[in-house]
Structure 1
């Protein structure tokens, strides 16, 4: 059975991805900072809960010991930092968002790489955003170009670069990043235009890759996304 860990999986896209992968036969670990919410989500899903704060070294190290073996890692945990006008964005806010969205991925990926290397089919999926695409956010025809932000788009552009570099550094693994699209979740106060089921489509697709699948790519549910 394929063992999968999803960070930030107690709600939204992480929860839906867990549900779908369980239906595909995966043994899923729900990673969450909040124990009550994480355990409740795992119980509802028929998954397993692991305490996991991606910003904390000790928490991540303990999660590695708890999980024990791993085939698929979905780096889903993320924060937006709020809709703050660019001139009002502080260095502290940027650091806080990067601590979760970027450094958190590095911390979790580095910690779980030894377990993934023991898998016959190791897969890493990094949940990015169209807001991380310089091409899309510069295109006046795209909704993303009308949203002017600093900390969140910059963090997701960094996630994309992490993905390409990990893909080159870990050629035995399938490492890809995904744009779920503007999905209605708590993350955006349910203002998104896609359902959570639609938003999870590309994440699930990339989590199900075998060794013949692509690596180092940036995709949504329609295919390749421009960097």
Structure 2
């Protein structure tokens, strides 16, 4: 379920945050997906999650709770949530949004999201076009960006793209 993925990653980040902040060049790279772009959400949610200046962690948690309630009640589609791969898409959009909040809160860190590409894995039933090594290379590129490089950014196969 999307809440488990989001909260699991969030808890690991929170546990590691003191060490990352204390380092001279702390980095967080969240592996995301092209389906985690905000365009998969309805207009109201898209605007709210894209307003990184006003979005808070509390509001993000509230929205995820609303999705989980709607999903469990079988009302996700009626409430405007994605219908295909809904839990996966919402988990990725919330993680992307959380990454942007972290980047804003901790400008001394590099906090980015990356879509590694369509990789041949069990998740894609090995129908991907990239090998696992090629997908990992796209993630590694973002992890090794130079000091002072972009933060709060979404990368698709190593190239910057908007979150929408």
Distance 1:222 1:135 in 2: 20
Q: Which residue of 2 aligns with 1:221?
A: 157
Shift of 1:134: 3.2
The aligned runs of 1:181-220 (5 Å cut-off) are 181-220=117-156
In the alignment, does 2:47 pair up with 1:111? Answer: no
Shift of 1:181: 1.7
The aligned runs of 1:68-83 (5 Å cut-off) are none
The aligned runs of 1:77-156 (5 Å cut-off) are 96-100=1-5, 102-135=6-39, 148-156=84-92
The root-mean-square deviation of aligned C-alpha atoms, in Å, is 2.1
Distance 1:108 1:222 in 2: 24
Shift of 1:214: 0.6
Q: Against the structure 1 CA distance between its residues 222 and 117, is the aligned structure 2 distance closer, same or farther, given a 3 Å change threshold?
A: closer
Counterpart contact for 1:129–1:178, Cα < 8 Å: yes
Distance 1:137 1:192 in 2: 24
Q: Gapped runs of 5+ residues in structure 2?
A: 43-82
Q: Which residue of 2 aligns with 1:175?
A: 111
Q: Gapped runs of 5+ residues in structure 1?
A: 1-95, 139-146
Counterpart contact for 1:123–1:209, Cα < 8 Å: no
How many residues are aligned here? 123
Q: Against the structure 1 CA distance between its residues 136 and 179, is the aligned structure 2 distance closer, same or farther, given a 3 Å change threshold?
A: farther
In the alignment, does 2:100 pair up with 1:164? Answer: yes
Give every structure 1 segment of 4 or more consecutive aligned residues whose post-TM-superposition deviation is greater than 4 Å: none
Q: Which has the higher contact order (CA 8 A, sep 6+)?
A: 2
TM score, norm. by length of structure 2 = 0.68
